[in-house]
Structure 1
Amino acid sequence: MSKPSPLNEKLVTLFGGSGFLGTYVAQALLERGARVRIASRNPERSFSLKPLANLGQLQFARCDITNEASLAAALDGADTVINLVGAFDGNLRRIMGEAAGNMAALAKKIGASAFVHVSAIGADAGSPTAYASAKALGEAKVLEAFAEASIIRPSIIFGKDDNFLNMFGQLISMAPALPVFGPDAKLQLVFVDDVAEAIVRAAEDPTQHGGKTFELGGPEVLTMLEINQRIAAAQGRSPLFISMPDTASAIFAALPLTPMSSDQWTLLKAGSVASPDMPGFKQLGIEPKPLGLFLDKWMVRFRKHGRFGAMAGKQPD
């Protein structure tokens, strides 16, 4: 019989737990026997987790993290706190910076034993983008209030139900030719289950992992063009990819109602690769999984005729 997790029966408040990553972190916590309180503006989005929890193991709290009273209510009685909140719109310094610091200060005040704050690779106080500078502010505010906090900086996270692979998968399935913005940008895509496991392991052992910043990237570095090519190959398609020059990409991102903002373009161009000088998956005892392990299976629904169609160059059985 395996040894119980240190989180077993402990109350973990999971801020931002109703989002893409939050669903996976919540599952990892529930599997360890933790009591999970999902604090979110829209907690009903995570009601699908109910069948995975035992009676009394899962609680939902509507929370505005920019309101101190709301934060305090969500933190009441918590032993461990995990912050996953991220945004590209709104007052980012308030949402991802100041609110994160207030969260950490309240967690310290109530005597929480662990605090895990999820940031992003590229967090930089001197960045011209509001996103990266707000992420850096959040890290600084959290560590100022809770010096033993663990900071987790993942690269772009992929999963079966993500908004990254599925967006490009949909576009590739619909068009014979597609522009590729930032074709040479280097990305170290990281599997959502691996990131969730890393977050929970950091929370399980604050003595070993507290006060450290971890950068998490998958086992391979791919360019944006290579990622598009792999998605197309998994669909059995051969579209024409048109590498867009930086000037055209910047103009496109600056236009209203486009799917990419100027900040997102700047971040994409900079790439997202974990620093070899920072602690990462290895220090957390995790072997990250490659994109190729899943892509063919996930892209089946985008193939011509789906499961009933033949892959390009292959004959049906």
Structure 2
Amino acid sequence: MAIDTKETVTVFGGSGFIGRYVVRALAKRGHRIRVASRRPHLAYHLQPNGNLGQIMPVQANLRFPWSVERAMEGAHHVVNLVGILSESGQQNFDALQAEGPRVVAEAAARAGIGVTQMSAIGADTGSRSDYARTKAEGEAAVLSAVPGARILRPSIVFGAEDQFFNRFANMARFSPVLPLLGGGATRFQPVFVGDVAEAVAKAVDGEVAGGRIYELGGPEVLTFREMMEEMLRVVDRKRPFVSIPFGLADRLAGFAQHLPGAPLTPDQVVQLQVDNVVSDEAVREGRTFEAFDIRPHTIDAILPTYLVRFRPMGQFTRGGPLTQETPQESVRGPTGV
């Protein structure tokens, strides 16, 4: 059945990992979506998620305010998902995560439209991590320009295209051991990308209060080691762990960051020394998935749907194909935060 299109939403960073799910969620709700990207041809794969003409890639770059304003002309809401895990040339933390949100929010304020900003748990202006510091500075800039904006802070996000479980599952295919930085004791609250996208869509539609920072975590708090153990269970492989002290990891990352496709940077080592979970304050104030009326998925409900390819014999390991349950059918556990 055809979907009647309604308001136009401009999504910066819509061609990325989280972006493709956000665009899909907005399209299902009937929005017209402008996917603003430095390379719009990389967003063409999103168009089948909507009706003809419902999803339109456009060129924009957060470092050029005029292109941001042009991408937002006639829009009713703007979503900023732009973020990076490591710096490369002019694509640095300050430009994209601190200054970029300010440019978007100030343009939105002039246009009189709403803003939903993607941040991250751990955002802190006093952090030693440039990633976390600039995320917090971006939040402050957005709320200063648009006091009614909605800020979303997810924990580590997982899904079919993620760069976390996929990376370590692939590593387990070839490496005899897996590394655990700092012994793997850092805690996370892994959250399914589909749940994050639904939260963004509800924020766009005004289903949660504005002017607030929401922290999004899955129903389980797991250490880095426990996440690696769950990944190995899903891919049906056994690998011993090697603990790497943070001091040594920092030195190794300092060298590795100069290599193409660096697997680890010193800034990421800093981030891994701090737990990445929903705060007690956010739970008390209802600034979690509870506000969105979303029951987040567990990792064991989702990981088998895309990590099966890393099993020794794919889906046919252990005498039969993997049962592909839909996320809705395979949810277990208590309602998470």
Q: Same fold (TM over 0.5)?
A: yes
The Cα offsets for residues 88-146 of structure 1, whole Å up to 9 and x where unpaired, read as 3133222111221121111111121x210001111111111211111111011101100
Alignment of 1:190-205 (within 5 A): 190-205=191-206
1:260 to 239, 260, 264: 264
- Where in structure 1 are there 5+ consecutive unaligned residues? 312-317
- Helix, strand or coil for the counterpart of 1:143? helix
| Residue number in structure 2 paired with 1:73 | 70
State yes or no: 1:276 paired with 2:280: yes
Give the % identical residues: 39
Q: From the superposition, tell whether residues 50 and 174 of structure 1 become closer, same or farther in structure 2 (CA, over 3 Å).
A: same
Matched-pair contact (CA < 8 Å) for 1:123–1:135: yes
How far apart are the structure 2 equivalents of 1:249 and 1:20? 27
TM-score by length of 2: 0.87
| Residue number in structure 2 paired with 1:219 | 219
In the alignment, residue 176 of structure 1 is paired with which amino acid?
P
Alignment of 1:139-154 (within 5 A): 139-154=139-154
- Paired residues in the alignment total 305
Matched-pair contact (CA < 8 Å) for 2:159–2:303: no
TM-score by length of 1: 0.92
- Helix, strand or coil for the counterpart of 2:179? strand
| Residue number in structure 2 paired with 1:307 | 315
Q: Offset at 1:297?
A: 3.2
How far apart are the structure 2 equivalents of 1:294 and 1:98? 35
In the alignment, residue 267 of structure 1 is paired with which amino acid?
Q
Matched-pair contact (CA < 8 Å) for 2:8–2:31: yes
Q: Offset at 1:220?
A: 0.5
- Where in structure 2 are there 5+ consecutive unaligned residues? 320-337
- Helix, strand or coil for the counterpart of 1:288? coil
The Cα offsets for residues 269-314 of structure 1, whole Å up to 9 and x where unpaired, read as 2121011311110011111110010223322211112123327xxx
How far apart are the structure 2 equivalents of 1:30 and 1:297? 23
What RMSD, in angstroms, separates the aligned Cα atoms of the two structures? 1.7
How far apart are the structure 2 equivalents of 1:148 and 1:108? 10
How far apart are the structure 2 equivalents of 1:298 and 1:59? 28
Matched-pair contact (CA < 8 Å) for 2:81–2:117: yes
Q: Offset at 1:219?
A: 0.5
Matched-pair contact (CA < 8 Å) for 2:102–2:138: yes
In the alignment, residue 37 of structure 2 is paired with which amino acid?
S
